[in-house]
Amino acid sequence: MKKKNYSSLLWPLITLAAILVFNLIFTKGFFNIEIKNGHLFGSIIDIIKRAVPVMIIAIGMTMVIATKGIDISVGSIIAISGAIAAIIILNTGLSLFFVIFLSLAVAFLFGAFNGLLISYIGIQPVVATLILMVAGRGVAQLITNGYVLYIDHKAFEYLGIGFFLGIPFSIIITLIVYIITYAVTRTTAIGLLIQAVGGNPRASYYTGINVKSIKFFVYAFSGLCAGISGLIISSDIKGADPSFAGLWVELDAILAVVIGGTPFTGGKYYLFGSIIGSLIIQSLTTTILTRGVPVQYTLVVKAIVVFIVIIFQSAEFRQKVLRGLKRKIQ
């Protein structure tokens, strides 16, 4: 079991190392880390910081994909949670705690709505979350009345651009979310149950696992992660943008999860792999930008990478091509 874990993380780590080595050779000062005013600065820190929203969503998405599901509504939930935070800050004098609590509660509820449709009503995950993907942007538009809202709130800005002990605070939030998720799923039976549900829902049901509630909570958790990510994004841009906040982030998150070694077919997951996957995507994006390639190419590059991953993950491809290659080598 340990050995298998290791080999599945090998490819993502090699990919990440390859991108970093490429930058080490071609980008000057890529690995420089400076300390300015007691804060860490540098390209590496910048990549990690920019990967934060995707990393947090990918943590939730990993759990969803492990149950053989998918959640394409995360981008809209990001827009909704940002919009709610903005509207509360602008219209009421509530403290930061309530701002965060209420926005996350709403995000959790929207995730729970997905979970309800998928587990208790039995709609396919892609259709159920497609409803929220489109209608959710409508909800965000209604909350902000169609405008982009600007927030001027020092404490709220700390979430996205603050530093704690010299490290960007958003990275620390990611670390906390990761550690809690890891602890809850790997030190208790929950991780095993999630894998069982993804591997074979019927067998899990006959073993006495409450398949429905596991699925329900996985989607609610994904919604919560999207909510956290939404707060960090709107704190980073000091505003709430209902139509463009988190647009197409679902592709990045799905990509991060599958690059990290979690298969689409469910049944197993690699939480750390998803973190590596997010870092790969962000360093790829940063590299594309620093190489001077126009920004609009990133979407095409990412989509092509997903296609390649789909092919490499399929059992048919492994059987036909990889086995043939091995035979040739022998």
- The CB density around residue 50, as the number of other CB atoms within 10 Å, is 19
- Return the residue matching tokens 């989509």: 303
The DSSP 8-state label assigned to residue 243 in this structure reads: T
Return the closest-CA partner of residue 59 out of 180, 234, 237, 208. Answer: 180
Q: What distance in Å separates the CA atoms of residue 176 and residue 257, rounded to the nearest whole number?
A: 19
x-marked contacts with other proteins along 61-80 as a string, rule CB under 8 A: ---------x-x--------
- Tokens matching residue 176: 């906390």
Smallest gap, in angstroms, from Cβ of residue 67 to other proteins?
A: 14
- The CB density around residue 4, as the number of other CB atoms within 10 Å, is 9
One residue of 176, 183, 304, 322 binding other proteins per CB under 8 A: 304
Q: Of all helices (H) and strands (E), which one includes residue 89? A: helix 74-91
One residue of 141, 195, 210, 290 binding other proteins per CB under 8 A: 141
User: Does 254 contact other proteins by CB under 8 A?
Assistant: yes
User: Does 292 contact other proteins by CB under 8 A?
Assistant: no
| Residues 229, 246 contacting (CB under 8 angstroms) | yes
- Tokens matching residue 15: 């990919």
Smallest gap, in angstroms, from Cβ of residue 72 to other proteins?
A: 7
Q: Of all helices (H) and strands (E), which one includes residue 252? A: helix 249-259
Beta strands in the chain (DSSP E): 33-36, 39-42, 149-150, 163-164, 167-168, 239-240
One residue of 1, 25, 121, 329 binding other proteins per CB under 8 A: 121
The DSSP 8-state label assigned to residue 148 in this structure reads: P
| Residues 156, 85 contacting (CB under 8 angstroms) | yes
Give the N- to C-terminal CA distance of the chain in Å, as an integer: 27
Smallest gap, in angstroms, from Cβ of residue 144 to other proteins?
A: 11
One residue of 45, 90, 131, 172 binding other proteins per CB under 8 A: 131
Of residues 200 and 298, the one with the C-beta less far from other proteins = 298
Please choose, out of 33-41, 47-55, 267-275, 301-309, the segment that lies near other proteins by the rule CB under 8 A.
Answer: 301-309
Of residues 32 and 319, the one with the C-beta less far from other proteins = 319
Smallest gap, in angstroms, from Cβ of residue 133 to other proteins?
A: 7
Smallest gap, in angstroms, from Cβ of residue 281 to other proteins?
A: 13
Return the closest-CA partner of residue 271 out of 282, 256, 249, 281. Answer: 256
User: Does 296 contact other proteins by CB under 8 A?
Assistant: yes
User: Does 300 contact other proteins by CB under 8 A?
Assistant: yes
Of residues 3 and 316, the one with the C-beta less far from other proteins = 316
Smallest gap, in angstroms, from Cβ of residue 186 to other proteins?
A: 26
Of residues 20 and 245, the one with the C-beta less far from other proteins = 245
User: Does 315 contact other proteins by CB under 8 A?
Assistant: yes
One residue of 307, 322, 323, 324 binding other proteins per CB under 8 A: 307
**Cross-strand pairs, 40:** 35
Neighbouring C-alpha atoms within 13 Å toward the C-beta of 145: 3
Smallest gap, in angstroms, from Cβ of residue 37 to other proteins?
A: 37
| Parallel/antiparallel/unpaired status of strands 149-150 and 239-240 | antiparallel
Of residues 79 and 193, the one with the C-beta less far from other proteins = 79
State the residues that interact with other proteins by CB under 8 A: 70, 72, 117, 121-124, 126-127, 130-135, 137-139, 141-142, 145-146, 248, 251, 254, 264, 294, 296-304, 306-307, 310-311, 313-317
